[in-house]
Structure 1
């Protein structure tokens, strides 16, 4: 499942780093905090590895 926006890709990267122990979980905020709790490392890897080129900064929630 590729990321739909740059913001989602960056949040997944932050959550993945926390899940791997590279950063502190207490540093996470917002979407990255909930992603870290609810997604597996493999799912986070898929989102974080998405190419940013051509992606919008944010996507409307509809």
Structure 2
């Protein structure tokens, strides 16, 4: 599943780094912390590798 915004893509990258042990889990913030717990490494990798061109910074929650 591709990321819908730059923020989501960056959060997935941070969660992926923590899952791989490249970053401390305690350094994660809200979205990336829940992503790290609920998604597999493959899902995170797919979301983090989404191209940023044409993506919005943030997507509204509605």
**2:48 alignment counterpart:** 48
CA–CA separation in structure 2 for the residues paired with 1:15 and 1:6: 14
Matched, 1:23 2:13: no
Matched, 1:59 2:59: yes
Deviations 1:12-62 (A, max 9, x none): 000000000000000001100000000000000010000000000000011
Gaps of 5+ in 1: none
RMSD: 0.3
TM-score relative to the length of structure 1: 0.99
TM-score relative to the length of structure 2: 0.99
Gaps of 5+ in 2: none
CA–CA separation in structure 2 for the residues paired with 1:14 and 1:24: 10
